[in-house]
């Protein structure tokens, strides 16, 4: 029999059996299965390390829950539309569909190779008309519900990709910060510090330009408040993601202050610091503010400035003074009006009141342009401020503010709202979701433009609007598809043209988790009854780079669908896990960085085991050859252990020479039996908490113990074979091929993938304390033999403390740490009988009262140590006795609860 495990040799067989038995299929009729979902992959060529980690996590959880008795839904599909496919096809002189289909074939094979168990009968591909017809259907439903707008808009335009980009697809320093998910609040005042200024394309890094185009939008801002407030209840989501979404939605409460600018009417500025209004020494308008366009027509300086701003990525603190003045609504003074690039037109109102004394940006701008700095808030404690150095941005007490002098900032913000020209206001950083893309490889927007009827939605019976055949052009291929483009108007029958924009691919992924529930449903995107019962997604796993795009859109879609009467839930995902990054030499492993290590190099199952064993799912870790080979060695160790056992068993059956075994139990077998139970309990807890790295650590220890046990004395068959079965089952979620092989070697029935999760046979709720006890006692004996330099001890005596000490310990544990603990303990009659010894021990406990760890009681301690005697004998080669302390015992004084006295001779 081969002693080496070769995953490549067995994988096809087990895949075949899993498929034949339909192990991973979820019948439609099951009730509320555990819905485990990894963010479906973009079809970019082949699996990379990030995918493997993502799907290893979902697969391990799905397998664990299946064995634990749940029905499990674990589907897979393909995020197949999008610009990268179009670019790749362009480079390779093929078409996006052929390229995408080839990627899907390769990636499906890669997933199978890793042993991931998916319900392939539910596979979906977003570039199939059967899928994207529902994007179109939903678009028209959204249109009916006023969730769609068609508007001329200044949009972010990537000249290289020749497409519009959503704000979230423009990378700026602020966007990068919010996307990092580190929970750091992005501080911006009204319209400053916003997004999409001077950014670059998220795909190609080209500086983004501005253009005016007619565009389709989903009005996600209708849900801004609900999406914001709902975050508070998403307890199963990482705080970092929730913070990112809060920052992205950017809800700020404050006030709008109206300034009179003479012949141009009024300008409103948003501020969160109304208490500083008396300190406003100028008014600044964003270059894109409506008023600025008018000004530019007759003011050459303004016109020149607009050109300057348009031609730079970093306009910094530049600005131009206009010939306007604004009347301060409180003081009546005339203050200058500037156009300044640091004010963004798409945040707040596109205008800010400049308060150099109390705002960082305004202070810097005033410095640059020699504007007055006027302090109107001072520290409450009377400490000074140096406004030449920098602004005073804290709250404080008002000064130089007329009738409001002496008010605290917070009170002033309330009172000032009553003034003419001031209104309470809330602003959001979130903008409506621009879904138009001027590219081919996406869902055609189901609209026909008619000269008479306007934009007419394509009727349901004419859906799907399928993509025309691909033609290679640097512009939009849909525009070039003349025959496809020209149609009759659905309303009046006149000549009309189709909309040639396609949808942002984020539309496809905003509801795909619903399609998996009823992938072949023909009357609607999904079967509502199933969705109402099976949602939410119980566990969703993916990268944290999706914190503000995809993960906000699925929340928006779920709410919109609920309002359309298609769902009864408003949040789609119960528990969200963001897996960390796999690094190689400190860099993210990716093909573009040239450091991806193909999953096949070390055997797919080894790679999978390695990524789970290396770290907690949320943490980054470094890919190292050493750690991969540790995972490989662990597989081999498990295989050898079980193969040896099976070999001996077969030899005995054939009456050949074989190692001895026992069918009668001895004392040390009790240790193994209890350790099997402790391992089940510990590993189950780790699986429940997604700590697969700790599962691997537990199983490595357990495999070593089984090996040691089998070589210590002939194994007791009943306990040992149970240990091997338990090892195999606990391994099955993280190394599925190996576990099937082991299960087969053990001559067990059926598939381990469908076996029942093991249960402890005894109460091992104290398993952590018990193990700690054995571990520290072993370490203590080691220390003593080292210190007194005993190479070869004859006898080791472990003396478990007297019963009264456990009682004293329990009293101290229960006591309020602020109480007089010594008195508390010595109040008990049973303690007084032990006189000074009890008082001394009580004093020790009082010192440690805040750090008293949980313990097992004396009887249990005695039993655990007695079971572990063989470990001491094996390691130190000495006779070992374990006993309870007696009253006249000289060792009794040293023994403490869960800290036996040790005597070595
Ligand atoms: Zn680009
Ligand atoms: Zn018409």
**pLDDT computed for residue 485 by the predictor:** 96
3-state class percentages of the chain: helix first, strand second, coil last, to nearest 5? 45, 15, 40
Is the bond preceding residue 135 a cis peptide, omega within 30 degrees?
no
Cα dist from 654 to 649, 743, 819, 867, whole Å: 9, 21, 71, 35
For ligand 1, the distance from its centroid to the CA atom of residue 159, given in whole angstroms, is 7
Tokens of residue 136, six digits: 């179109």
Distance CA 815, CA 12 (A): 61
For ligand 1, the distance from its centroid to the CA atom of residue 167, given in whole angstroms, is 13
Task: Name residues with Cβ closer than 5 Å to ligand 1, which is an ion.
Answer: 158, 160-161, 201, 203-204, 206
User: Could you tell me where the beta strands, DSSP code E, fall in 777-898?
Assistant: 795-800, 879-884
Helix or strand or coil: residue 275? Answer: helix
Ligand nearest to the CA of 162: 1
For ligand 1, the distance from its centroid to the CA atom of residue 445, given in whole angstroms, is 22
Distance CA 260, CA 706 (A): 84
Closest CA to 501 of 443, 458, 438: 438
Tokens of residue 644, six digits: 């040896």
Helix or strand or coil: residue 625? Answer: helix
For ligand 2, the distance from its centroid to the CA atom of residue 449, given in whole angstroms, is 8
Ligand nearest to the CA of 157: 1
For ligand 1, the distance from its centroid to the CA atom of residue 480, given in whole angstroms, is 21
**pLDDT computed for residue 424 by the predictor:** 96
For ligand 1, the distance from its centroid to the CA atom of residue 293, given in whole angstroms, is 28
Ligand nearest to the CA of 164: 1
Question: What one-character-per-residue DSSP string does 103-129 give?
Answer: HHHHHHHHHHHTT----GGG-EETTSH
For ligand 2, the distance from its centroid to the CA atom of residue 683, given in whole angstroms, is 66
- Element (H or E) spanning 434, and its range? strand 433-434
Ligand nearest to the CA of 497: 2
Helix or strand or coil: residue 818? Answer: coil
Cα dist from 48 to 589, 597, 903, whole Å: 8, 8, 57
Map tokens 């109102």 to a residue: 349
Cα dist from 392 to 378, 525, 567, whole Å: 8, 55, 50
The backbone region for 655, taken as left when phi is positive above 0, alpha when psi lies in -120 to 50, beta otherwise, is: left
For ligand 1, the distance from its centroid to the CA atom of residue 215, given in whole angstroms, is 18
Q: What is the pLDDT of residues 471-520, one digit of tens each?
A: 887 667 898 899 999 999 999 999 999 999 999 999 999 999 999 999 99
Ligand nearest to the CA of 455: 2
Ligand nearest to the CA of 156: 1
Distance CA 61, CA 150 (A): 44
Taking the model in full, what pTM does it have? 0.88
Task: Name residues with Cβ closer than 5 Å to ligand 2, which is an ion.
Answer: 450, 452-453, 489, 491-492, 494
Ligand nearest to the CA of 490: 2
Query: How would you label 324-357 residue by residue, b for 16+ Cβ within 10 Å and e otherwise?
Result: bbbbbbbeeeebbbbbbbbbbbbbbbbbbbbbbb
Q: Give phi and psi for 142, each to the nearest 5.
A: -60, -40
Is the bond preceding residue 849 a cis peptide, omega within 30 degrees?
no
Please check whether residue 72 is in contact with residue 574, taking contact to mean a CB–CB distance below 8 angstroms: no
Closest CA to 636 of 101, 1, 2, 5: 5
For ligand 1, the distance from its centroid to the CA atom of residue 171, given in whole angstroms, is 11
Ligand nearest to the CA of 86: 1
**pLDDT computed for residue 687 by the predictor:** 98
**pLDDT computed for residue 130 by the predictor:** 97
- Give me the residues paired with residue 422 across strands: 257
Our measurement of the distance from residue 848's CA atom to the centroid of its chain's CA atoms, rounded to an integer in Å, reads 39
Q: Is the dihedral of CA 211, 213, 219, 222 positive or negative?
A: positive
Ligand nearest to the CA of 87: 1
Over 186-244, what HEC string results? Answer: CCCCCCECCCCCCCEECCCCCECEEEEEEEEEECHHHHHHHHHHHHHHCCCCCHHHHHH
Map tokens 């192990």 to a residue: 23
Distance CA 141, CA 829 (A): 79
Helix or strand or coil: residue 502? Answer: strand
| Positions of the chain with pLDDT lower than 50, given as ranges | 173-197
**pLDDT computed for residue 187 by the predictor:** 30
Ligand nearest to the CA of 171: 1
For ligand 1, the distance from its centroid to the CA atom of residue 204, given in whole angstroms, is 4
Our measurement of the distance from residue 437's CA atom to the centroid of its chain's CA atoms, rounded to an integer in Å, reads 28
For ligand 1, the distance from its centroid to the CA atom of residue 161, given in whole angstroms, is 4
């Amino acid at each position: 029999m081969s002693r080496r495990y070769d995953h490549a040799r067995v994988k096809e067989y087990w895949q075949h059996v899993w498929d034949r038995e339909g192990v991973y299929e979820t019948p439609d009729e099951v009730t509320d299965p555990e819905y485990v979902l990894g963010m479906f992959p973009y079809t970019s060529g082949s699996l990379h390390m990030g995918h493997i980690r993502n799907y290893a996590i979902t697969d391990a959880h799905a397998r664990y829950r299946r064995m634990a008795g749940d029905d499990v839904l674990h589907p897979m599909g393909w995020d197949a539309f999008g610009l990268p496919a179009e670019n790749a096809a362009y480079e390779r002189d093929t078409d996006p569909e052929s390229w995408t289909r080839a990627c899907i074939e390769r990636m499906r094979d890669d997933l199978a190779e890793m042993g991931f168990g998916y319900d392939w009968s539910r596979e979906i591909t977003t570039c199939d008309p059967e899928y994207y017809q529902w994007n179109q259907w939903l678009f028209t439903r959204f249109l009916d519900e006023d969730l769609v707008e068609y508007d001329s808009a200044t949009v972010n335009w990537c000249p290289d990709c020749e497409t519009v980009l959503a704000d979230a697809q423009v990378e700026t320093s602020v966007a990068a910060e919010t996307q990092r998910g580190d929970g750091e609040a992005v501080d911006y005042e009204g319209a400053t510090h916003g997004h999409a200024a001077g950014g670059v394309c998220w795909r190609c890094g080209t500086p983004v330009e501005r253009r005016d185009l007619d565009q389709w939008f989903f009005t996600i801002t209708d849900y801004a408040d609900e999406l914001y407030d709902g975050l508070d209840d998403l307890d199963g989501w990482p705080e970092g993601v929730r913070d990112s979404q809060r920052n992205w939605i950017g809800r700020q409460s404050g006030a709008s202050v109206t300034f009179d600018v003479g012949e141009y009417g009024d300008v409103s500025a948003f501020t969160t610091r109304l208490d500083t209004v008396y300190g406003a020494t100028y008014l600044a308008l964003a270059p894109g503010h409506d008023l600025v366009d008018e000004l530019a027509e007759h003011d050459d300086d303004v016109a020149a400035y607009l050109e300057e701003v348009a031609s730079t990525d970093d306009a910094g603190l530049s600005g131009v003074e206009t010939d306007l003045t604004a009347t301060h609504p409180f003081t009546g003074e005339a203050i200058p009006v500037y156009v300044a690039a640091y004010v963004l037109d798409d945040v707040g109102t596109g205008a800010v009141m400049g308060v150099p004394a109390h705002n960082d940006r305004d202070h810097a701008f005033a410095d640059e342009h020699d504007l007055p700095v006027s302090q109107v808030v001072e520290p409450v404690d009377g400490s000074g401020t140096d406004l030449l150095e920098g602004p005073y941005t804290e709250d404080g007490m008002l000064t130089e503010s007329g009738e409001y002098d002496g008010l605290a900032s917070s009170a002033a913000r309330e009172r000032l709202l009553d003034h003419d020209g001031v209104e309470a206001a809330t602003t959001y950083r979130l903008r409506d979701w621009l879904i138009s893309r001027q590219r081919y490889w996406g869902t055609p927007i189901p609209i026909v433009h008619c000269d008479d009827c306007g934009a007419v939605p394509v009727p349901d019976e004419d859906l799907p609007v399928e993509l025309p055949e691909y033609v290679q052009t640097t512009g939009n291929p849909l525009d070039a598809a003349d025959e496809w483009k020209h149609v009759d108007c659905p309303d009046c029958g006149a000549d009309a043209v189709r909309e040639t924009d396609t949808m942002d691919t984020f539309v496809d992924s905003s509801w795909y988790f619903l399609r998996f529930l009823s992938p072949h449903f023909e009357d609607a995107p999904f079967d509502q009854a199933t969705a109402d019962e099976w949602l939410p997604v119980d566990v969703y796993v993916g990268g944290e780079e999706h914190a503000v795009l995809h993960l906000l859109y699925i929340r928006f879609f779920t709410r919109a669908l609920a309002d359309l009467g298609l769902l009864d839930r408003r949040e789609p995902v119960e528990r969200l896990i963001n897996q960390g990054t796999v690094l190689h030499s400190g860099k993210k492993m990716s093909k573009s960085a040239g450091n991806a290590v193909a999953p096949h190099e070390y055997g797919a199952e080894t790679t999978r085991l390695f990524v789970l064993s290396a770290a907690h799912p949320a943490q980054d870790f470094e890919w190292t050859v050493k750690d991969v080979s540790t995972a490989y060695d662990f597989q081999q160790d498990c295989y050898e252990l079980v193969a040896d056992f099976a070999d001996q068993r077969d030899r005995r059956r054939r009456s050949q020479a074989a190692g001895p075994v026992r069918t009668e139990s001895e004392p040390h077998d009790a240790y193994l039996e209890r350790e099997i139970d402790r391992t089940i309990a510990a590993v189950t807890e780790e699986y429940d908490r997604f700590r697969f790295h700790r599962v691997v650590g537990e199983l490595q220890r357990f495999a070593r113990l089984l090996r040691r046990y089998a070589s210590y004395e002939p194994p007791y068959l009943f306990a040992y074979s149970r240990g091997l079965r338990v090892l195999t089952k606990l391994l099955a979620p993280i190394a599925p091929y190996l576990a099937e092989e082991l299960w087969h070697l053990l001559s067990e029935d059926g598939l381990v993938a469908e076996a029942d999760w093991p249960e402890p046979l005894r109460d091992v709720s104290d398993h952590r304390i018990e193990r700690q006890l054995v571990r520290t006692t072993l370490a203590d004996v080691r220390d003593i033999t080292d210190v007194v330099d005993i190479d070869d001890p004859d006898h080791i005596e472990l003396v478990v403390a007297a019963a009264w000490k456990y009682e004293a310990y329990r009293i101290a544990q229960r006591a309020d740490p602020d109480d007089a603990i010594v008195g508390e303990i010595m109040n008990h009659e049973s303690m007084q009988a032990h006189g000074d010894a009890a008082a001394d021990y009580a004093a020790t406990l009082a010192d440690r009262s805040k750090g008293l760890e949980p313990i097992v009681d004396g009887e249990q301690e005695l039993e655990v140590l007695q079971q572990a005697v063989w470990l001491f004998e094996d390691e130190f080669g000495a006779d070992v006795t374990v006993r309870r302390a007696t009253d006249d015992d000289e060792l009794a004084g040293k023994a403490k609860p869960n800290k036996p006295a040790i005597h070595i001779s």
